[in-house]
Amino acid sequence: DGTGAPARPSPAAGLPGAAAGRRAPAPLGLVAELTHRCPLQCTYCANPVELTRQRDELDTEQWQRILDRARGLGVLQVHLTGGEPLLRHDLAAIVAHARGLGLYTNLITSGLPLDAARAAELAAAGLDHVQLSVQDADPLRADAVAGLTRLTGPTGHARKLAAAALLTGAGLPLTVNAVLHRGNLARLGAIADLAVELGADRVELAHTQFYGWAWVNRAHLAPGEEQVRQAGRDVAEARARHGDRIEITHVAADHHGGTAKPCMNGWGSEQLVVAPDGTVLPCLAAAQLPGPALPNAVTDGLAASWYDSPAFNRYRGTDWMPEPCRSCELREQDHGGCRCQAFQFTGDPGVTDPACRFSPHHHLVRAQTTPAPTPAPVPRRFTAAVPPAPDPA
Ligand code: FES
């Protein structure tokens, strides 16, 4: 980085655990946010409310150098995401470069800008897998939550179905992903059925992760307790209905159940995120956190960002943990939960995740799981008047 992508740099003095001879592990995955531009305006989007403009996006060569450095660090998988990565005309060149390095390449897309030539181009570039989003099994509701109600011609939903056919036709393995929320949970089973019809190998039914726009719109999106219980039953029925024809993954609802999720499988432990302008983050939502400045992949390099930056070292391991995490037997499994969730609920990213029933702030999460009267949601966009968050107390 800056001096040529060392494969295994020496641990920096001051790393948590360095005195005991431990060091940060090498990262396994790189989440490459190629752009924040997107034809959709999903109210549940986890992108930051402060979106990066096109003029600040990295160029092709900069992304290719980042991929070189990521591979040098030990990264094996790259997730190409956004925004909508298909809006980058150099996407195939980025895929081809990653494959040339031996990286597994996963494209996360809405599918809207896809045509047959693009699908063939990406397959020829060596793309390994595509994750295609659908919003609902009901076309009108799908387009409504994605802000696509003013489209002329085929609906956004219909375009996604066409994209799925193009992708499978090009021989690309397909996962269908649906973000679940109060407005579409009633059709969870129908979404699984749709994924089977589309020829997907896998469907990921993932409850909304409340970051970015989804956090702004949480009063609109958060499901009630009974909806969450019913979702579990609907997933079981879908698995029974479809057997081995498709793998059905169910990502549990945030804020229900009284346990903290092992966010990112531990801060600075397995994955790093590079934002469209090169900012390097330990997770997709970390730009909102107070504390040390975030490093940049171009100016600071990836190795220095991963191993040496205060932002990555701040919550590594267990030394940073307060009680009740510090003495909890689950601390190596849930890693104290999610730092961003802790910040969003309490203003302090260094406390136990309030999703945990042992957190002194757990009542704030419990209050959210009771659906509030539905306000108008705020669509994701570059400039939006975002209403202030309701007082959690
Ligand atoms: Fe940032 Fe969980 S999303 S730590």
User: Both tokens of residue 253?
Assistant: 């609802």
- Measured over the CA atoms of residue 201, residue 203, residue 204 and residue 208, the dihedral's sign is positive
Instruction: Please provide the distance, in angstroms rounded to a whole number, between the alpha carbons at the two ends of the chain.
Output: 45
311 Cα–ligand 1 center, Å: 13
93 Cα–ligand 1 center, Å: 30
List Cβ neighbours of 140 (8 Å cut-off, separation of 6 or more): 149, 155
Q: What atom of ligand 1 comes closest to residue 337's alpha carbon? A: 2
Residue positions counted in the chain: 393
Is 338 a pocket residue for ligand 1 (Cβ < 6 Å)? yes
Is 287 a pocket residue for ligand 1 (Cβ < 6 Å)? no
Would you call the peptide bond into 324 cis, given omega within 30 degrees of 0 as the criterion?
yes
How remote is the C-alpha of 349 from its chain's centroid? Answer: 19
- CA 232/CA 227 separation, integer angstroms: 9
- In this prediction, residue 388 carries a pLDDT of 46
3-state secondary structure string across the chain: CCCCCCCCCCCCCCCCCHHHCCCCCCCCEEEEECCCCCCCCCCCCCCCCCCCCHHHCCCHHHHHHHHHHHHHHCCCEEEEECCCHHHCCCHHHHHHHHHHCCCEEEEEECCCCCCHHHHHHHHHHCCCEEEEECCCCCHHHHHHHCCCCCCCCCCHHHHHHHHHHHHHHCCCCEEEEEEECCCCHHHHHHHHHHHHHCCCCEEEEEECCCCHHHHHCHHHHCCCHHHHHHHHHHHHHHHHHHHHHCEEEEECCCCCCCCCCCHHHCCCCCEEEECCCCEEECCCCHHHCCCCCCCECCCCCHHHHHHHCHHHHCCCCCCCCCCCCCCCCCHHHHCCCCHHHHHHHHCCCCCCCCCCCCCCCHHHHHHHCCCCCCCCCCCCCCCCCCCCCCCCC
Pairing assessment for the beta strands 280-281 and 271-274 based on DSSP bridges: antiparallel
Q: Which of 213, 273, 338, 353 to mutate to test the pocket of ligand 1 (most atoms within 8 A of CB)?
A: 338
Is 312 a pocket residue for ligand 1 (Cβ < 6 Å)? no
Is 283 a pocket residue for ligand 1 (Cβ < 6 Å)? yes
Q: What atom of ligand 1 comes closest to residue 286's alpha carbon? A: 1
Is 24 a pocket residue for ligand 1 (Cβ < 6 Å)? no
Which residues of the chain register pLDDT less than 50?
A: 1-22, 384-393
List Cβ neighbours of 205 (8 Å cut-off, separation of 6 or more): 178, 180, 188, 191, 192, 231, 235, 248, 249, 250, 251
Q: Which of 255, 325, 340, 343 to mutate to test the pocket of ligand 1 (most atoms within 8 A of CB)?
A: 340
User: Both tokens of residue 28?
Assistant: 């396994």
Would you call the peptide bond into 212 cis, given omega within 30 degrees of 0 as the criterion?
no
Closest Cα to atom 1 of ligand 1? 340
User: Both tokens of residue 217?
Assistant: 């719109």
Is 273 a pocket residue for ligand 1 (Cβ < 6 Å)? no
Q: Which of 238, 251, 268 is nearest to 206 (CA)?
A: 251
- CA 320/CA 289 separation, integer angstroms: 16
User: Both tokens of residue 21?
Assistant: 């001879």
The answer to whether the beta carbons of residues 323 and 222 sit under 8 Å apart is no
What is the pTM assigned to this prediction? 0.90
- CA 163/CA 119 separation, integer angstroms: 9
Q: What is the ipTM score, two decimals?
A: 0.94
Residue with tokens 């991963």: 306
Q: What are phi and psi of 180, to 5 degrees?
A: -95, 140
212 Cα–ligand 1 center, Å: 11
The answer to whether the beta carbons of residues 339 and 263 sit under 8 Å apart is yes
CB atoms within 10 A of CB 230: 15
Is 286 a pocket residue for ligand 1 (Cβ < 6 Å)? yes
Residue with tokens 């499988």: 265
Closest Cα to atom 2 of ligand 1? 338
Q: What atom of ligand 1 comes closest to residue 209's alpha carbon? A: 3
How remote is the C-alpha of 268 from its chain's centroid? Answer: 15
Pairing assessment for the beta strands 247-251 and 271-274 based on DSSP bridges: unpaired
Q: What atom of ligand 1 comes closest to residue 349's alpha carbon? A: 4
